[in-house]
A and B are shown apart, each in its own frame.
Chain A
Amino acid sequence: MSDGFLDEAVPDSEAGELEQATVRVILADSQAIYRVGMRKVFAVEDNIRVVAQAETLANLHIALQRFPADIVVLEGELLAGTVDAIPELVRQAPDAKIIVQVVDKDESNTVELYRRGVRGVVPRSISPDLLIKCIRKIAVGETWIDNRSINWVIDAYRSQASAMTEPRTQLKLSPKELLMITCITRGMRNKEIAYQVGTTEQVVKNYLRKVYDKLGVSDRLELALYCMHHQLLKQYPTQELR
């Protein structure tokens, strides 16, 4: 297909006739073999229907525009190098609940995914039965999280809450990172920052990810509020733009 995702989706009229309990799924995975495999697994389920497939993040956005979905099963690798991909997806399709498939579960990545709005983080090696169970649980509004991840999330929540609202020792931010913060709080977009700083958008995204991680913030507004609450930029000389 020219737009990169299969148009085997249910036509609107047909979708309307489906029972309400039908869970509409979008598969976003760069590897066709996974998409085909998952599709086969879901095909034998009465009320799970794959409405679209996407092999890139850009195509997922298009798919979400065209096909209302209850669940997005997203390959974690598609998020590599992005900063706000999950919040953007949540903003675009607030009704679609996101499940991320990861190769390795590590603490910081898992916590970050849940913090940004995903409803479940599962391994790529998940068994078909468990994936179906996970989809059904999440479709009815639950969160899919194992005990280890619960501990990670709670620990992160505790430490973040205290770190963000209490005075802290001075952070080590590089001049470039401070410049990025100044640009972001001035409302500049990544493209504009890249132009001003004389770099690429991807480099700006990398810096932003580092800044977000260092400060424990998750988006631009939180960054601005953090700067104001901690008077962060007052601790450093003004970062001049070119």
Chain B
Amino acid sequence: MSERVTEAKMDLRQRTKKIMGSMPSPMRAAVRFPLHLPVSLHVDGGLLQALTEDISSTGARFLTQVAPRVGSLLVWNLHLPAAVMGMPNAVDVDCVGRVVWTRVDADGVRVGALIDDYQLKDEQA
């Protein structure tokens, strides 16, 4: 299972690198959903625990304790629980993106990221 996740992440990384060349700064047009989900951010070879504060189809805002470098490639998995989704299995979304801003405040570090690519999959698959 973990090997398949790693493979999927590698695949997503490769696909993302292809399209990241000279990406323009996109306008924020997508609706943000205020979902609070714990995630592990793979960034700069390390792992960062974070909580999503809002998510859209093009980006996400995280709350974490360490500020990643702006421009870093981010890989994370959104776990949408079965019970909340109303489905027999949870839904996993593998996301690849990059850090576009960070802001330190009283709660920790807020991180804004763009989602460059994602892949939805059934937990059981």
Q: List A residues at the B interface (Cβ < 8 Å).
A: 91-92, 94-95, 115, 141, 160-161, 164-165, 182, 184-187, 216-222, 224-229, 231-236, 238
Bound-complex Cα distance A226 to B32 (A): 10
Say yes or no for B43: interface residue by CB 8 A criterion: no
Q: Which residue of B lies closest to A164 (CB)?
A: B31
Considering only residues 74-125 of chain B, those with a C-beta below 8 Å from chain A are 80, 84-89, 91, 93, 115, 118-122, 125
Main secondary structure of the interface of B (DSSP, over half): loop
Contact between chains at B57 and A231 (CB < 8 Å): no
Contact between chains at A186 and B121 (CB < 8 Å): yes
Question: Inside 8 A of A233's CB, which chain B residues have their CB?
Answer: 85-87
Question: Inside 8 A of A238's CB, which chain B residues have their CB?
Answer: 86-88
Decide: A221 near B57, CB < 8 A? Known: A91-B19, A94-B24, A187-B122: yes
Bound-complex Cα distance A164 to B29 (A): 13
Q: List B residues at the A interface (Cβ < 8 Å).
A: 19, 22-24, 26, 29-35, 55-57, 80, 84-89, 91, 93, 115, 118-122, 125
Question: Inside 8 A of A228's CB, which chain B residues have their CB?
Answer: 33, 35, 80, 84-85, 91
Contact between chains at B120 and A231 (CB < 8 Å): no
Question: Inside 8 A of A184's CB, which chain B residues have their CB?
Answer: 120
Contact between chains at B30 and A222 (CB < 8 Å): yes
Contact between chains at B33 and A225 (CB < 8 Å): yes
Main secondary structure of the interface of A (DSSP, over half): helix
Bound-complex Cα distance A99 to B124 (A): 42
Contact between chains at B86 and A186 (CB < 8 Å): no
CB distance from B90 to the nearest CB of A (A): 10
Contact between chains at B29 and A185 (CB < 8 Å): no
Contact between chains at B85 and A94 (CB < 8 Å): no
Q: Which of A161, A185, A229, A231 contacts B91 (CB 8 A)?
A: A185
Question: Inside 8 A of B88's CB, which chain A residues have their CB?
Answer: 238
Decide: A231 near B19, CB < 8 A? Known: A187-B120, A218-B30, A221-B57: no
Q: Which of A115, A224, A226 contacts B93 (CB 8 A)?
A: A224
CB distance from B53 to the nearest CB of A (A): 13
